[in-house]
Amino acid sequence: MDLRFTPEEIAFRQEVRAFIRDNLPTDIHAKMKLGNGPSKEDTVRWQRILNAKGWAALSWPKEWDGPGWTAIQKMIFLEENQMAPAPELSSFNVTMIGPVLLQFGTEEQKQRFLPRAANLDDWWCQGFSEPGAGSDLASLKTAAKLDGDHYVVNGQKIWTSTAHQADWCFVLVRTNPNARKRQEGISFLLVDMKTPGITVRPIISIDGSHHLNEVFFDDVKVPANLRVHEENKGWDVAKYLLGNERTGIARLGKSRERVNASIDLAHKVNMNGQPLIADPVFRQRVAQLQVDMKALEITQYRVVSAFDKAKGAGRPDPLSSVLKVKGTELLQATTELAVDVAGPMATPIWAEELAAMNEQDELLEAGSASTGSYLFLRAASIYGGTNEIQKNILTKAVLGL
Ligand SMILES: Cc1cc2nc3c(=O)[nH]c(=O)nc-3n(C[C@H](O)[C@H](O)[C@H](O)COP(=O)(O)OP(=O)(O)OC[C@H]3O[C@@H](n4cnc5c(N)ncnc54)[C@H](O)[C@@H]3O)c2cc1C
């Protein structure tokens, strides 16, 4: 197998890198370079710049303003964008609801929602998980009853990322509680978050940020023409959504960027009278991470290009579970590295003391940002399907056990 990039792919990477360098607003870049996450406004601003260039609707067909890239080009783009570092495209818009509407939506739904999703005019969120339905999603209970030309929705969702900022939510509801199989009684609705009867309650995560929410539905009226696909066929839509887009699941560019930033910091931080970068144990740890990232990169390109060649959209390659497991392990290991390099500056109390002693601002800011990412990314092995579930998939579908 030839694992080299073609000359066209190398030129493409340079084109992407140059575009990001020349067009990413400097304030967003400066903030992210210090390890801070982008705000909603930063993400919207950057996605609109990319959309104007035709680079937002990554896997959509050209007639819906997709760039027409191969899977490898998409990977290259995602990696360059993460490494810049720049805000990532809204996955709810670009890799979830967009492809779902392209596959199952009515013409009216496509016209109404797709251009706005690509341009982030509508911010979407995902209402799947419930207090009693996470890994076992088919046990969801939020109910929708058809009443004339609309559904009446009652129930609760949880862990709904960015629901407090969202304009729309795609929601899985139970429309037939008596179905023979649980999966056969579920439908997929598009819900306007401004509809009366919706209450969004924040969940503050361990890093102190507000990203997660509970969402309550009390007699929420949803027009029936906002159901996607047939009634009681929502499970097919959900499976397509979860499986269609595996490109970039490992977020390798994020890990790379974090290791590069840690190396930069390790030149400035002193340990035992010398820069940390000179410490052999530290160097060995960084080298091991680099090796692991290289191995994951090669696996990623193998999985993605095989998937692309098989034209298997909608049927996830079970091998992509390797990318999720290894990718999130590396996200966690690299945030741990960043915190270790920051040392006492990673603890807010010490950071204040050190600021009073005129320590370098840059080090202090990077230190406190590293703690936030470290804490939040403990969740990476839970969201998007827990790593235990991914391992179950691998044992069955790949190892045949
Ligand atoms: C930061 C974050 C963001 C999220 N964003 C969203 C969102 O936007 N929208 C949304 O709908 N959901 C979201 N989720 C929810 C996420 O999809 C669920 O948390 C996840 O699917 C796990 O479900 P659960 O929390 O109910 O845990 P459970 O399914 O109850 O699992 C508990 C533990 O048991 C293990 N386990 C469960 N079943 C098995 C099994 N069969 N074999 C082996 N081990 C098993 C799990 O791996 C886990 O360790 C988010 C979660 C987090 C943490």
Whether residue 121 is predicted with pLDDT greater than 80 in this model: the reply is yes
Of the residues 125, 159, 210, 214, which should be mutated to test ligand 1's pocket, given the most ligand atoms within 8 Å of the CB? 159
Ligand 1: which residue has its CA nearest to atom 41?
389
* 122 SS3 class: coil
Candidate list 79, 245, 257, 365, residue with the active-site label: 245
Place of tokens 């760039």: 67
Pocket of ligand 1 contains residue 160 by CB under 6 Å? yes
- Residue 118 Cα distances to 68, 76, 126, 283, angstroms: 14, 19, 16, 42
Task: Give all domains of the chain, ordered by start, each with its CATH number.
Answer: 7-89 (no CATH), 124-234 (2.40.110.10), 246-398 (1.20.140.10)
pLDDT of 142 reads 98
Task: Establish whether the linkage from the previous residue to 99 is cis, with ω within 30° of 0.
Answer: no
Mean of pLDDT values over 310-316: 59
Whether residue 1 is predicted with pLDDT greater than 60 in this model: the reply is no
The distance of Cα 172 from the centroid of its chain, to the nearest Å, equals: 19
218-248 burial, b at 16+ Cβ within 10 Å, e below that, comes to eebbbeeebbbbebbbbbbbbebbbbbbbbb
271-291 pLDDT per residue, tens: 889 999 999 999 999 999 999
pLDDT of 344 reads 81
142-184 pLDDT per residue, tens: 999 999 999 999 999 999 999 999 999 999 999 999 999 999 9
- Distance separating alpha carbons of residues 125 and 238, to the nearest angstrom: 14
320-336 pLDDT per residue, tens: 889 999 999 999 999 99
Is 245 a catalytic site residue? yes
Q: What is the pTM of this model?
A: 0.94
Ligand 1: which residue has its CA nearest to atom 43?
388
335-347 pLDDT per residue, tens: 999 999 988 878 7
221-255 pLDDT per residue, tens: 999 999 999 999 999 999 999 876 566 788 999 99
Q: Higher model confidence: residue 85 or residue 357?
A: 85
371-399 pLDDT per residue, tens: 989 999 999 999 989 999 999 999 998 88
174-215 pLDDT per residue, tens: 999 999 999 999 999 999 999 999 999 999 999 999 999 999
DSSP notation for 353-366: HHHHTT--HHHHHH
Strand pairing of 186-192 and 168-174? antiparallel
- Sorting pLDDT into bands at 50, 70 and 90, what band is 306? confident
